[in-house]
């Protein structure tokens, strides 16, 4: 099976975890795009969606699904999103699509983070995928120096600004043995808007696409 077929498999499987008649949190990326299409095709009715990016909002609305601002909702039963890496405990690296800040905000509203990904995203230790960090521009060099002290090489993602208008640093060479500790540490650095480690907001359920079918981690 191709990677796209594995993504399609989990996108379809995630529809079963959507709570009918309730608000739904929707993430960003190619796997989520397939999920949005699968949800629309399923005929399952939701109250509406809270979206983590302009791109997902446009796709949801294209299917006639109402999208409301995160600020107008106080709780979401479920948030469905992809990941760039996920470990066996549901800790993730996210932000490959530059939507990490809004993703974390929407995930924070949710009781349950359902991660959908193909099997290539499953790792023992996070860090092979460059860690995205959204920053205030004037802090970027200092944040890069702080990562260097931890053994990471940070580079600016060229030509990319987030939906919030900020640049992203991608940090290579990290081995994130304790995701919660590193997320907590980097969150303290001045000028960091969001670090793409999702440990506090880890997946409660992961649906991983494999040639044999959907593997579930919970």
Interaction site with ligand 5RP (CB under 6 A) = 27-31, 81-84, 94-100, 103
66 is catalytic: no
| Of residues 17 and 142, the one with the C-beta less far from ligand 5RP | 17
Shortest Å distance, C-beta 203 to ligand 5RP: 11
Would you say how long the chain is, in residues? Answer: 218
Instruction: Tell me: is residue 104 an annotated ligand-binding position.
Output: no
- The position carrying tokens 């989520």 is 32
Minimum CB–partner distance for residue 177 and ligand 5RP (Å): 21
Q: Which is nearer to ligand 5RP, 102 or 146 (CB)?
A: 102
Q: Which of 20, 66, 103, 183 is catalytic?
A: 103
Cα separation of 59 and 65, whole Å? 9
Q: Considering beta carbons, is residue 144 or 194 the nearer one to ligand 5RP?
A: 194
DSSP labels, 101-145: HHHHHHHHHEEEEEEEEEGGGB-SSB-SSPEEEEE-GGGHHHHHH
**Residue 94 counted as an annotated binding residue:** yes
Smallest distance, ligand 5RP to C-beta of residue 95, A: 5
Minimum distance from residue 149 beta carbon to ligand 5RP (Å)? 26
Measured from the CB atom, is 103 or 170 closer to ligand 5RP?
Answer: 103
9: tokens are: 């498999």
Nearest to 125 by CA among 147, 93, 99: 93
Note whether 123 and 87 are within 8 A (CB): yes
CB count, 10 Å around CB of 58?
11
Binding residues for substrate: 28-31, 81-84, 94-97, 121
Residues catalogued as catalytic? 103
């Amino acid at each position: 099976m191709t990677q796209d077929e594995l993504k399609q498999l989990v996108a379809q499987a995630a529809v079963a975890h959507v709570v009918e008649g309730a608000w739904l949190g929707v993430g960003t990326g190619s796997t989520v795009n397939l999920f949005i299409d699968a949800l629309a095709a399923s005929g399952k009715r939701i109250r509406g969606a809270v979206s983590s990016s302009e791109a997902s909002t446009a796709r949801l609305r294209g299917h006639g699904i109402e999208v409301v601002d995160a600020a107008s909702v106080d709780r979401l039963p479920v948030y469905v999103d992809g990941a760039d890496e996920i470990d066996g405990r549901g800790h993730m690296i996210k932000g490959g699509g530059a939507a990490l800040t809004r993703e974390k905000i929407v995930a924070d509203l949710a009781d349950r983070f359902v991660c959908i990904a193909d099997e290539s995203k499953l790792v023992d230790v996070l860090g092979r995928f460059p860690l995205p960090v959204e920053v205030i521009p004037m802090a970027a060099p200092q944040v890069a120096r702080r990562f260097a002290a931890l053994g990471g090489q940070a580079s600016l993602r060229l030509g990319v600004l987030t939906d919030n208008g900020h640049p992203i640093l991608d940090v290579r060479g990290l081995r994130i043995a304790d995701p919660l500790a590193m997320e907590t540490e980097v969150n303290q650095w001045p000028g960091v808007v969001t670090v793409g480690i999702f440990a506090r907001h880890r997946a409660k359920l992961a649906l991983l696409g494999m040639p044999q079918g959907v593997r579930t981690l919970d």
